[in-house]
Structure 1
Amino acid sequence: MHLAQNTQTRRSIAIVGAGQAGLLLGCGLLDQGYAVTMVTNRTAEDVWNGKVMSSQFIFDPALQIERDFRMNQWEKDCPATDGISFSIPMPDGSGNKAMHWHARLTAPGQSVDQRVKMPGWMKEFVARGGDLRFEDVGVEQLEALSREHELVLLAGGKGEIVNLLGRDESRSPIKQPMRQLALTYVTGMKRHDYYECVNFNLIPGVGEYFVFPALTTHGANGTQACDIMVFEGVPGGPMDCWGDVRSPEQHLAKSLEILKTFVPWEYERSRDCQLTDANGILAGRITPTVRNAVLTLPSGRKVFGMGDAVLVNDPITGQGSNNATKGAKHYYDAILARGDQAFDEAWMRQTFDALYNGYAEKVVRWTNSLLFPPPEHIVKLLGTAQQVPSIASRIANGFNDPRDYANFWFDPADTDRLIDTEMQKLAA
């Protein structure tokens, strides 16, 4: 269903940052008759020809928002991922699996390389009548934008400017990076003998490895299918090993070495892989952070944070682009509902708190929980999923809407209740 157009208003809004949240919101507001200015420091060519930025897997509820905003340009070309698989290796180093199951998602998810998506969305933004500007933004530029527009949104997730928002300590319990992260974009991976999955491997004491199909750049104008390897190493552990990597070739070799050592079943289907391109690699660390939603400029005018600028999750649950998408839709609804009223600080705080308390808090809590060794009741839950398909399905489809995990993930009594209920159904 296409969103109905409203041509009765011409309120002016500026968005700093041309990423998943900013471009989606900007294009949606243009369709509703708003005047939208977007400012970014990278051109479409810069993004297309640059390094990969994330793994950006998006599950169906967020994909539906893209469809509703007519922003699903690559859906027919992008490989579909139909399920979630979960494996834990035997602790004896034998290379066998101690645990393995897979379950279908209610609808497929997809990953489109941001180097493909963001240039395409920039073009769409301009085609819908948006004012796209390229410059670095600091406090001086924010002041100018706030003089020219009724609302300024800070959606850039990287760079010093987002740090001006300040960290919300009450919502950010983790104070340092919990994983050494690395991405490797490859072609030539062998397929599993079951449906396409986000293949998640938990290696106790070492970290996590997951991999899934995606659509990436190829040549000057086209795209190609690939697979994205995501490594999450416990700091100081054997997967925290990227510091000495100096070239794309070394990065690929290190990736395959990790697979061969810890998840040999993944190595067997990856051993002949090649990098998609020299820029198809990334390594770094992220501190999970919730920032304050409102920035007060020296003039006293307010800037409203959104997307990665205010919500930074570890990629371990693949929720970053989903949070950005759902957050953009939440802000879109709040802006339209505001009518002609001022976008004041109280409205900004109410809008963000509604998003955080109604959705994001549960995502943050679940994601943060996976950065620590699993408690006994979660080990029991994951093990039971091998024998009880309905539990595997419940866990897998929590990725679509992580709020469901609050019903069975955190409290051992809730976990036991779910296990007992589903096992009784299975036995009936």
Structure 2
Amino acid sequence: MTSQNSAGRSTRTAAIIGAGQTGVTAALGLLDAGFDVTLYSDRDQRALRDDVPATGTALEFGETQQAEAALGLDSYTARAPRHTGLSVRIAGPEREELIAFDGHFDGYVGVAVDTRLKADERLTRFLERGGRFVVEQVSPAALDPIAAANDLTLVATGRGGLSELFPIDAERSVYDAPQRSLLTVTVTGIGHDDSVFAHRSRAGGGHSGFSIFADQGEGWWGPYLHKDAGPSWAFLGWARPGSEWERRFAAADSADSAHRIVQELYRDFIDWDLPEVLATQTIAEDPHSWLKGAVRPAVRSGAGHTAGGHVVGSLGDTSAAYDPIAGQGAQSGLIQAQRLVAAAAVHDGAFDEAWLGGQYAAFLAARGDAANKVTRLFLGDPELADIGNQLFAAAAVDSRVASALVGLLHRPQPLLGIDSLDAANEFITGVSGEDAAALLARFAPAGRFDRSAFSSTLASA
């Protein structure tokens, strides 16, 4: 099935395989840059919006929003509930309540937008502007004539299927298995004003909440824009292999069961946030408002070859699959798409392996390597554990360090230079203006986190 043929206004042609958020963004960007673009999907537009779950929460910060703006696209900062900070709580293996801090985003906000909504709106715009949309399953065999017929072919089909065309970069892919099992569910029932999660931050519902258990995993709540319900909240949980949380997550088989599992998890482990969590409700009109699974973090090559030897480029999750714990997947994919579009628009030669490889190397240097490292930091990677402990302890003492630490989710590049405890201390000193040793000497365990009084607030409202 083909929708709305292109007007044929360009002698340069491009094919994008995969109509998710990153693929359709690249397709629309190339179309606006003067290419004749064909976008391929195994589902039609309605099915892409309504018959599949969102691929994570797709939280984006300032650098990604700037990339979207450079393409002339809506970054949703005027439509989605905004994240203005991140509130963190860390508990030890015996559930000792150790670290509490609240980092404020400095000069930018975060927005988490349903990827189905964003892809749908951009696909509509792509068709209105003359793009060609083909609904068919593109197998490796089918990709060969597509790549032969187009000047530039990009694969944005995610982590499965066609990703095997792109060799794994063993040096950058340090894990041979998923580091977490994932569970997500989108809910309504609570707002975003300062009465929600007020025990965590004066910003209340303007900040997302992150809780870390050394032996179990992590749980995150954040403001979200759902395709049907509008402003809402998303939960995303990460369970360590072999943990009690992993066993619980595996039992989810619907939005309602996922929601029950999350509520029970907070009752048993994270009671400081329980009143808000108990007030939430699933979104009845969207049976796909939940998802479970696991991601093996892996970085692949920027260029691959079809069976006939035609070169194709990787894009988004096909290039690099990040564990979503640090929110780098959607951000990096969109930044990569914008960079590719900008480079292709001014390139007058062949889009060959050298060009694709050069563009990918530049992206890794500008964003990808740093995104990979900040993900490893938040996963508690053993190679970065001492550095992480130092930074998180300092954040509990000094609000400037807290803001700089959560700012690495927006711009992770500074983390590339932090490769030792001495470098971590230099970072802490540079941010706080105080000797790191003196600052860290003031650290003391939290003892007991503040508990929510949200139920009382509701009862007296």
- TM-score normalised by L of structure 1: 0.91
CA contact (8 A) 1:209 1:231 kept: yes
Deviations 1:12-50 (CA, angstroms, capped at 9, x unpaired): 111111122221121112112111111011222112212
Distance 1:331 1:73, change over 3 A: closer
276-285 or 226-235, which deviates more: 276-285
Give the letter aligned to residue 109 of structure 2: P
Distance 1:273 1:81, change over 3 A: same
C-alpha distance in structure 2 between counterparts of 1:225 and 1:214, whole Å: 6
Name the counterpart of 1:381: 391
- Give matches, 1:83-162, under 5 Å: 83-89=85-91, 92-93=94-95, 98-162=99-163
C-alpha distance in structure 1 between counterparts of 2:289 and 2:9, whole Å: 45
C-alpha distance in structure 2 between counterparts of 1:424 and 1:11, whole Å: 53
Name the counterpart of 2:371: 363
C-alpha distance in structure 2 between counterparts of 1:154 and 1:376, whole Å: 38
Name the counterpart of 1:239: 245
Give the letter aligned to residue 184 of structure 2: L
- Give matches, 1:117-266, under 5 Å: 117-189=118-190, 191-193=196-198, 194-195=202-203, 196-218=206-228, 223-241=229-247, 242-266=249-273
Give the letter aligned to residue 362 of structure 1: A
Using the TM superposition, give the Cα deviation of residue 184 of structure 1 relative to its aligned residue in structure 2, in angstroms: 1.0
Matching of residue 313 in structure 1 with residue 322 in structure 2: yes
Matching of residue 414 in structure 1 with residue 415 in structure 2: no
Secondary structure of residue in 2 paired with 1:416? helix
CA contact (8 A) 2:21 2:116 kept: no
CA contact (8 A) 1:366 1:402 kept: yes
Deviations 1:142-182 (CA, angstroms, capped at 9, x unpaired): 11212221111111114312223232222211110000111
Deviations 1:328-353 (CA, angstroms, capped at 9, x unpaired): 112112212322x1111111111111
Secondary structure of residue in 2 paired with 1:119? helix
Distance 1:346 1:66, change over 3 A: same
Give the letter aligned to residue 184 of structure 1: V
Name the counterpart of 1:349: 357
CA contact (8 A) 1:90 1:98 kept: no
The unaligned stretches of length 5 or more in structure 2 are 1-7, 439-461
Deviations 1:97-133 (CA, angstroms, capped at 9, x unpaired): 6423332342111111012111111101111221111
Distance 1:297 1:418, change over 3 A: closer
Secondary structure of residue in 2 paired with 1:54? coil
Give the letter aligned to residue 420 of structure 2: D
Deviations 1:353-392 (CA, angstroms, capped at 9, x unpaired): 1211332112112212332356334223212212212111
Secondary structure of residue in 1 paired with 2:107? strand
Distance 1:418 1:300, change over 3 A: closer
Distance 1:377 1:358, change over 3 A: closer
C-alpha distance in structure 2 between counterparts of 1:247 and 1:346, whole Å: 46
C-alpha distance in structure 2 between counterparts of 1:321 and 1:424, whole Å: 34
- TM-score normalised by L of structure 2: 0.85
Distance 1:143 1:8, change over 3 A: closer
**Identity level (%):** 24
Using the TM superposition, give the Cα deviation of residue 93 of structure 1 relative to its aligned residue in structure 2, in angstroms: 4.1
Name the counterpart of 1:35: 36
The CA RMSD over aligned residues, in Å, is 2.3
C-alpha distance in structure 2 between counterparts of 1:347 and 1:104, whole Å: 36
Using the TM superposition, give the Cα deviation of residue 421 of structure 1 relative to its aligned residue in structure 2, in angstroms: 4.3
CA contact (8 A) 2:156 2:317 kept: yes
CA contact (8 A) 1:89 1:263 kept: no
Distance 1:217 1:420, change over 3 A: closer
C-alpha distance in structure 2 between counterparts of 1:156 and 1:247, whole Å: 25
CA contact (8 A) 1:18 1:39 kept: yes
Secondary structure of residue in 2 paired with 1:66? helix
Distance 1:76 1:420, change over 3 A: closer
Alignment length, in residue pairs? 415
373-382 or 360-369, which deviates more: 373-382
Deviations 1:197-246 (CA, angstroms, capped at 9, x unpaired): 2322111111111111111122xxxx411111010000110110222333
Name the counterpart of 1:57: 59
C-alpha distance in structure 2 between counterparts of 1:281 and 1:188, whole Å: 16
CA contact (8 A) 2:114 2:227 kept: yes
C-alpha distance in structure 2 between counterparts of 1:90 and 1:365, whole Å: 23
Secondary structure of residue in 1 paired with 2:57? coil
C-alpha distance in structure 2 between counterparts of 1:346 and 1:21, whole Å: 23
Give the letter aligned to residue 30 of structure 1: L
Secondary structure of residue in 2 paired with 1:46? helix
C-alpha distance in structure 1 between counterparts of 2:362 and 2:99, whole Å: 42
Distance 1:252 1:298, change over 3 A: same
CA contact (8 A) 1:84 1:105 kept: no
